[in-house]
Structure 1
């Protein structure tokens, strides 16, 4: 999972184009290490949620926000982070983002209450939004030719392994020194990177850039309001004022965002991208795929630990095949999309995801986890992995080359926002299961997952363009 900056190719660096500076590989290693922490923090918390809930007396709503607060700020502010990198210099943006993320990780680990925990997660997301697009901008402009392809391959591999390592590391740390260490572990890594990076980062000259702060605030607030309404619906009901008003508020804020973007001379998001069918298709596929996968990690972790009494480490081990299956699906999808086309690959991936989700709808509190839960999750995540790749390649390889950066920003924003919305929706549907330990809530959520994947397969038949994407290389990898 990478988060490209839409003006990456316009940046200027001091590293020579002939690749003579040997520090560039050390720089790549440090930037990949920083990016790895950002990706890790999406999934590492899932396995630790039950222990957090017990120690801090957290309810279902708060647990949901522990996951979504990070992805919401990461995704909602990512485009602004890319613009800020232009305005202050990518190297400054990387260091500022890393400092914020590291400090926020310490605060989150030290949390003694829900407000402190959630505040830490919010600032982790802000730091990630500053760091990630600027870091990839530096990588893409510091390497050239074959070296660039190798560097971007390493960067993409970080995203592919982050979720797998996250569930396992989250379980090991929670079972060992405690859930706080899923956040503390970022601190020494961040300090080392902060000490080493200034010596190897190329100095980017700031470029005049308008910062669309109103747009960033509106789109993030709109998504936050939407998620708040979804979470509230789990307790107060879908027709309650506590759910309806935030949901309507989210729509109003989105409308205001569109108006601001149309009027702005330097919009955060070029809305014309949504007139490009490949971009709309890619954003849709990315939203659904991420929503399903992150929701699976969330629901599965709570189910295994609350209903089945699994330890955090054992839970992490159960999820390891799921994360590996996602990677295998992505690898196979990257091959198939060039052979059979985007539409066929996307539809097949969603059908496989739906098929894997169906057995989960019949889950019981007594069946073997390795027969009733794990096979379905592995099959579903395999299909989702193929959809991830199809989403990215469709959006980026089927638009004009000069628009690929803009399309990349859109698709990667939908990646993070999709995770937030998926957890919020599934947490609401599974509310009774999470709060009372009832199996019905979990089966209802998995039933919705199967229905969403099946419906998405039908939509993909119409929405995803025919044809085989032709990737031209560059920074736009996921």
Structure 2
């Protein structure tokens, strides 16, 4: 009798926490490296832009095209990239995307004109569009549905830490060896990512597509997740932009001290993501997502109060809480999308999530810029923070209606 109860208890525990083989963890590591590389690209290059623009004698507007060209082609390439993943598997799509990305990086390192540098960013963007859906799909490829939050927590933590490390690496490379050193470093990292993908990511088998009716039903949660991804990145990137503008233009901070504020935020995003992933596996996506959005709304509402200072030590508590809030949102959002559809649709859903993040990031910067349309002052930053609270409350509505409250397996 006791042996039977022990066996049932063991089986029950195994059902709650299915085993993951070693190959799946290696695949997660390789795909996380790919995602981190794509995240590093944006932060490293952004730091190097003033030096690169000075070399080619271009204005700030000309420098902006170096970023715009990359993100525009990145976004355009996501949906075709997702289809490639679904048809041929994440390994082929990742290697193809990384090869194109590396080719564009080499073009940038050797660029002799601004036009060539912009063209190189177009090529990099095409590669990123192919590789990004493969990185997310491959990250959970070997994990059972009830353990995907754990994988996505690690994946999200690496992306968050990339935001922390990227500006430091970019600044050191630019100061020590010039702006081209950033492109050469990205090239080496790209080649290493290709090697890891070939060695650790399994070949994907082509599978049949779901019926049109099943696809429409499953995509409802995926669309809700894409909206929450957009709202999350609108809050995160908009906050990064707004705080940097205020600290440097209104509060009199230099570039390095001002960079400390978003670094605190990025550090706690990275710290919270693994915990959030395990929590999501246990309780489902709705609870962590609601907690994340409500905590973010509370932070924005408090800092929107006119009497509260917006620089110095007063920013640290808000950065810690907001970082944890955003860290809760990353795994829950991705898990909700991927667990709502069959694996044959993971590429398309991953592309949709990445597209939502890009749109949200652009919208966050645009909204913060609109708040500062006349000048950068504390009053205008307070109003921008009111907008952040509104976005967070909108996120609670989407998560409450679109996410599950239990960690159910997908169809």
**Normalised TM-score (structure 2):** 0.71
Superposed CA offset, 1:122-146 (max 9, x none): 3222212212323444454456799
Residues 358 and 447 in structure 1, CA contact (< 8 A), matched pair in contact too: yes
Other-structure match for 1:34: 34
- State the alpha-carbon separation in 2 of the partners of residues 53 and 362 from structure 1: 38
Aligned counterpart in structure 1 of residue 254 of structure 2, from 310, 333, 338: 310
SS of the equivalent of 2:400 reads coil
In structure 2, list runs of 5 or more residues that go unmatched: 1-18
Residue 292 (structure 1) aligned with residue 227 (structure 2): no
Other-structure match for 2:359: 417
Residues 64 and 424 in structure 1, CA contact (< 8 A), matched pair in contact too: no
Residues 261 and 319 in structure 2, CA contact (< 8 A), matched pair in contact too: no
Query: How many angstroms does 1:293 deviate by?
Result: 1.3
Residues 286 and 414 in structure 1, CA contact (< 8 A), matched pair in contact too: yes
- State the alpha-carbon separation in 2 of the partners of residues 396 and 55 from structure 1: 44
Other-structure match for 2:94: 94
Other-structure match for 1:451: 386
Query: How many angstroms does 1:121 deviate by?
Result: 2.8
What is the aligned residue count? 383
Residues 69 and 118 in structure 1, CA contact (< 8 A), matched pair in contact too: yes
Residue 471 (structure 1) aligned with residue 407 (structure 2): yes
- State the alpha-carbon separation in 1 of the partners of residues 242 and 338 from structure 2: 32
- State the alpha-carbon separation in 1 of the partners of residues 160 and 183 from structure 2: 21
Alignment CA distance shift 1:96-1:356 (3 Å): farther
Other-structure match for 1:262: none
Aligned counterpart in structure 2 of residue 358 of structure 1, from 304, 322, 329: 304
Residue 170 (structure 1) aligned with residue 170 (structure 2): yes
Residue pairs, 1:366-381, within 5 angstroms:
369-371=311-313, 377-381=319-323
- State the alpha-carbon separation in 2 of the partners of residues 271 and 69 from structure 1: 33
The RMSD of aligned alpha carbons is: 4.5
In structure 1, list runs of 5 or more residues that go unmatched: 1-16, 210-264, 433-439
Residue pairs, 1:257-272, within 5 angstroms:
none
Superposed CA offset, 1:47-87 (max 9, x none): 44444554445555455554454344334422321212344
Superposed CA offset, 1:153-193 (max 9, x none): 64444234222222332333334333443332111122344
| Higher normalized helix content (fraction of residues) | 2
Alignment CA distance shift 1:271-1:124 (3 Å): farther
Other-structure match for 2:325: 383
Query: How many angstroms does 1:388 deviate by?
Result: 3.7
- State the alpha-carbon separation in 2 of the partners of residues 145 and 457 from structure 1: 27
Residues 238 and 365 in structure 2, CA contact (< 8 A), matched pair in contact too: yes
Alignment CA distance shift 1:28-1:179 (3 Å): same
Alignment CA distance shift 1:295-1:445 (3 Å): farther
SS of the equivalent of 1:469 reads coil
- State the alpha-carbon separation in 1 of the partners of residues 228 and 147 from structure 2: 30
- State the alpha-carbon separation in 2 of the partners of residues 190 and 202 from structure 1: 19
SS of the equivalent of 1:470 reads coil
Residues 153 and 331 in structure 2, CA contact (< 8 A), matched pair in contact too: no
- State the alpha-carbon separation in 2 of the partners of residues 379 and 285 from structure 1: 19
